[in-house]
Structure 1
Amino acid sequence: MKKINPIYFPLLLGLFLALGIFAGAYLNFETPLDSPNTTNKKKEKLGRLIDYIDYEYVDAVNTDSIVDVTVNSILANLDPHSTYIPQSEYAEVSENMKGDFVGIGINFYRINDTITVIRPLDDSPSAKAGIKAGDRILYADNQALFSAQLSNDSLSKILKGKVNSSVLLKVQRKGSDSLLEIEVERDHIPIKSIDAAYMLGPELGYIKINRFAENTFTEYQEASQKLIDLGAKNMVLDLRDNGGGFLKPAIQIADDFLKEDQLILFTKNKRDEVVKTMASDVGNFESAQVYVLINEHTASASEVIAGALQDHDIGTIIGRRSYGKGLVQREMELGDGSAVRLTVARYYTPTGRSIQKPYGDNNENYHLEYLNRYENGELKHKDSIQVNDSLRYTTPKGKVVYGGGGITPDVFIPKDTHVTKEKLTYMLRGGIMDRFVFNKLEKDRSAFTDLSKEEFIQSYELDEEWIGEFISYLHQFNFDYRFGRYQELLKLYLKASMGEQLFNTQVKEQIINSQDPYIKRVKRLAF
């Protein structure tokens, strides 16, 4: 395996996280699109060319692929966020943004071509039927699943299905001499938007939102109400690495903090038509202290919330300058199962600023802008943030804010760009630590049977031997294993991965947050 130059770890991590921005940063407008003029000469020209190739060209040609290339070429000349969704990807993309799918509800690895359960999802059909972490699922309705030729798409089709339909699984479980037969009834499996919701202090709640999908506001309501019941009067919204999504749930969440008739945002299309969105008279945190956590991967709908609160002098924006996506997309079907997400407007924060960063004619440079921020020192020093003074705005209380490229925080948190820290984050987010931890847990899961979540978070400590074993494990990936002063952070991340596999994602986030500079700053401001 070719060794990865350490200098590229920050870029690799940035691109890895940025995938969420480009996969989920599309804001849907619900206004129907007027039918285009079917006699348009330009459309006739393109249609005739496809017909000529289809019927007259000397060799057989897949004109579907030609159309796909043509559509992508057209969109490449527009803006970085107008995108084409081919028929083969449309169902998966729609499912992801819808917020759920019908299946059995497991997280798994493929180990030696065998489906190995990391853990069944909470309250999922698999959990209710008795599937356990470490189980090997060998058959589904007598169809073997331990084949290298079985693609992930084929496996997905086998395990997914219609609501209330059943699948008979044959499971190999450690300690059992024979295969277990477990019947699982498929049901809706939510794709969670909220990774964690817990109390940071006696009156301070914390909610981490990873995206904005159809079900996000419902999740937020349930999570915030639980925190209110626990005494939360103030709130931390963690929008770091949240690449956006649907506009509506972001507006609804912003509304929870704004008073009636305060402007949340407005949009303007090519005809200069302006649509304003105002806050309602309903909101649980209209008089609360709110802290919004952002970073360079916070984009789109996330920036709507941060911008609206900042422009009304509500709360404190903490972190680093956000991504800078202020374009609005509308999804339009193309009649063959494919669709296009076309930029139809720009959105503006209440003071009138557009936070869309420049994109010009070079989309590649636009997507690599993170590297520019890294090189010019912006991620480490607030003074290195480049602002356009001609796009200077003032909030009602006199705070100066800028348009033209993301939300600049009120309180700056520098990024630790040391290569070892970047490598550790890459390993945690990229799944390398998860595989190692899974293998360790497989040796003796019974050791954690009686350990509660609270005990694990507060008092469990990894043995020092884990460090040495993990270093040995990394040799196969050609990673530099000199962790130096970051050894305690390595232990923290390994514990976080273990917490997610033993319990849930919230436990993982709580463990990471225990030493997080953002959370430490929030506590200093709040308490």
Structure 2
Amino acid sequence: MKMNTKYVPIMVCGALALGILIGGKINFSVPATGFTTNATNKGKLNRLIDFIENDYVDNVNTDSIIDITVNDILAQLDPHSVYINSEDLQEVSQSMRGDFVGIGVNFYMYKDTLAVIKTVEGGPSEKAGIKSGDRILMADNDVLFGRKLPNDSLFPKLKGAKDSEVTLTIYRKEENRKFKVRVKRDVVPIKSVDISAMLDKNTGYIKINRFAETTYSEFRRELVKLKGEGATRLVIDLRENGGGYLEEAVRIADELLKDETLIVMTKNKGGKEDKTYATEGGIFETGKLAILINENSASASEILAGAIQDNDRGTIIGRRSFGKGLVQREMPLGDGSAVRLTVARYYTPTGRSIQKSYDHGAAEYFKEFGHRYETGELYAADSIKIADTLKFKTPKGKIVYGGGGIVPDVFVPLEGKHGDESIGLVMQSGIVSYFVFEQLDKDRKQFEGVAFPDFLLKMDKNDTYFTNFKKYLKNNGVTLPLDHNKGLVKRYLTAEFARQLYGEKEYYQIILKEDAMVKKALDAKTL
């Protein structure tokens, strides 16, 4: 599948994807203050660098040599021990902190101009009157159009210190006018809880996209709200959640498990065990509970799912999770860069490790989605490869397995027809967002004042956007059998139109209505 590189995503200003940098499969504890190493070997490396700097026949960037050396060393360990340079570390830390300081827009470079897809609700740009479809031509005296600026040069022009101001020159196509607006930069949250909603009169739903510093507080706030709306059953969606802070997953588990229930155990190199138990006062210790997982649910997601499954607390629905049972600690290297080094293994309450093998190297390790597809595991529960020697029993006698992810209690196959799995991936990618933006950009006024129910009716009866999307993909070098999966494609297109026109709640209202895992969770026999 080929895709035009001009559609590479530029999402919320400053909210960069954690998974791009470190595989999206992490969990880690608090940063360490440093580490020691053998003085002789350390001196050997330092002398070698000095020799190259002082005596090598050509000029060499020794910083790049050091980076290569560090990466080569870590490559001998495990796939999750990684080096992060200073620039990337700032971006990762920002994402995990849960906020950034900026103007608060979701944008991308459309043709040669920075186009606003949507402003962040309640953010500085929305308050200043910037709208979806606006082009940002200049930031103060910096020209942002006609130059095909790379991503890393755009962010510094829009981010800045809290309460600092920037004058933006805006072109509003629908009014055919150019104007200036002054925007005061402010803290913009990067939500780790995408949404909470009532699926029916008794069932609440919470979608968690990662475990950042603010995840527990976001989760608890939404859970309290749902209980106030009548939720006695709860669905927690951890699909595509690659992990994050172990502590945040543990705190959420604490709200769901009774006092003194074991949540997770970690064991370090010296064999020291640390066990974490639930405390009293959890706000959802007795209601019916389901956890949704898939092949990209990893680390902290697996800690939460494992704690629920091993304690017979709820039902795990979906497909086998990623299989990461390693704990990293961030260790600064003194120049703004850091290593995330694996310092322990974690074990679920029954004592199982769910870490999958990495004996064949990192490349094979991260390509396992392809292997699962080839074996048919994504479509049939009986194709899941589990080791019979790694059986464990829950308190109620249920058999659970170690050695490679959390195996769900209720299996749900990948959406779409067998062989067409790429369609689902494309429909959840940035290219759909850009297509919808460009369709809206042709005539936004046709949707002005349209109530949401009328919008749904209009989209259901109209195949224009489905046809246009097929042409759009073809023009960008993507060939997919969309006609075989027309219902799925139209659903995601309608949902993205709803997101850009109305908001996140409307997007999920459309997506969840036909979601196979959600339907299974709502089945009285399941939840």
- TM above 0.5, one fold? yes
Shift of 1:192: 1.3
What's 2:28 paired with? 28
Contact in 2 for aligned 1:351/1:394 (Cα 8 Å) = yes
- 1: distance between equivalents of 2:359 and 2:176? 64
Return the TM-score normalized by structure 2: 0.92
- 2: distance between equivalents of 1:30 and 1:432? 36
CA offset digits 1:471-519 (Å, max 9, x no partner): 2222212333643342122211110110111122332222111111111
CA offset digits 1:297-322 (Å, max 9, x no partner): 11000000000000000110001110
- 2: distance between equivalents of 1:177 and 1:49? 62
Paired AA for residue 383 in structure 1? D
Shift of 1:285: 0.9
- 1: distance between equivalents of 2:300 and 2:78? 18
Contact in 1 for aligned 2:257/2:282 (Cα 8 Å) = yes
Contact in 2 for aligned 1:420/1:483 (Cα 8 Å) = no
Contact in 2 for aligned 1:26/1:245 (Cα 8 Å) = yes
User: CA, structure 1 residues 280+330, in 2 after alignment: closer, same or farther (shift >3 Å)?
Assistant: same
Counting aligned pairs with the same residue, the percent is: 48
Shift of 1:460: 5.4
- In structure 1, the gaps of 5 or more residues are 5-16
What's 1:401 paired with? 400
Contact in 2 for aligned 1:20/1:243 (Cα 8 Å) = no
- 1: distance between equivalents of 2:255 and 2:456? 31
- 2: distance between equivalents of 1:35 and 1:470? 53
Shift of 1:327: 0.1
Paired AA for residue 154 in structure 2? L
- 2: distance between equivalents of 1:482 and 1:392? 41
- 2: distance between equivalents of 1:174 and 1:34? 53
Contact in 1 for aligned 2:416/2:488 (Cα 8 Å) = no
What's 1:145 paired with? 144
What's 1:360 paired with? 359
What's 2:116 paired with? 117
Contact in 1 for aligned 2:32/2:331 (Cα 8 Å) = no
Shift of 1:329: 0.2
What's 1:296 paired with? 295
User: CA, structure 1 residues 186+33, in 2 after alignment: closer, same or farther (shift >3 Å)?
Assistant: closer
- 1: distance between equivalents of 2:458 and 2:231? 25
Paired AA for residue 80 in structure 1? P
Paired AA for residue 199 in structure 2? L
Shift of 1:150: 2.6
Question: Which secondary structure state, in structure 1, belongs to the residue aligned with residue 256 of structure 2?
Answer: coil
Is 2:327 the partner of 1:316?
no
Contact in 1 for aligned 2:3/2:477 (Cα 8 Å) = yes
CA offset digits 1:227-278 (Å, max 9, x no partner): 1221112110000111001111111111111011111001000100011111
Is 2:41 the partner of 1:42?
yes
Return the TM-score normalized by structure 1: 0.92
Contact in 2 for aligned 1:136/1:172 (Cα 8 Å) = yes
Question: Which secondary structure state, in structure 1, belongs to the residue aligned with residue 462 of structure 2?
Answer: coil
- 2: distance between equivalents of 1:125 and 1:469? 34
User: CA, structure 1 residues 446+272, in 2 after alignment: closer, same or farther (shift >3 Å)?
Assistant: same
Shift of 1:214: 0.8
Contact in 2 for aligned 1:24/1:97 (Cα 8 Å) = no
- In structure 2, the gaps of 5 or more residues are 5-16
What's 1:276 paired with? 275
What's 2:8 paired with? none
- 2: distance between equivalents of 1:239 and 1:190? 20
Higher mean C-alpha displacement, 85-94 vs 125-134:
85-94
User: CA, structure 1 residues 327+24, in 2 after alignment: closer, same or farther (shift >3 Å)?
Assistant: same
Question: Which secondary structure state, in structure 2, belongs to the residue aligned with residue 110 of structure 1?
Answer: strand
Paired AA for residue 233 in structure 1? T
Question: Which secondary structure state, in structure 2, belongs to the residue aligned with residue 393 of structure 1?
Answer: strand
CA offset digits 1:353-379 (Å, max 9, x no partner): 000001115222212222111111111
User: CA, structure 1 residues 314+490, in 2 after alignment: closer, same or farther (shift >3 Å)?
Assistant: same
CA offset digits 1:429-450 (Å, max 9, x no partner): 2222222211221233233332
**How many pairs were matched up?**
514
Contact in 2 for aligned 1:26/1:341 (Cα 8 Å) = no
User: CA, structure 1 residues 333+517, in 2 after alignment: closer, same or farther (shift >3 Å)?
Assistant: same
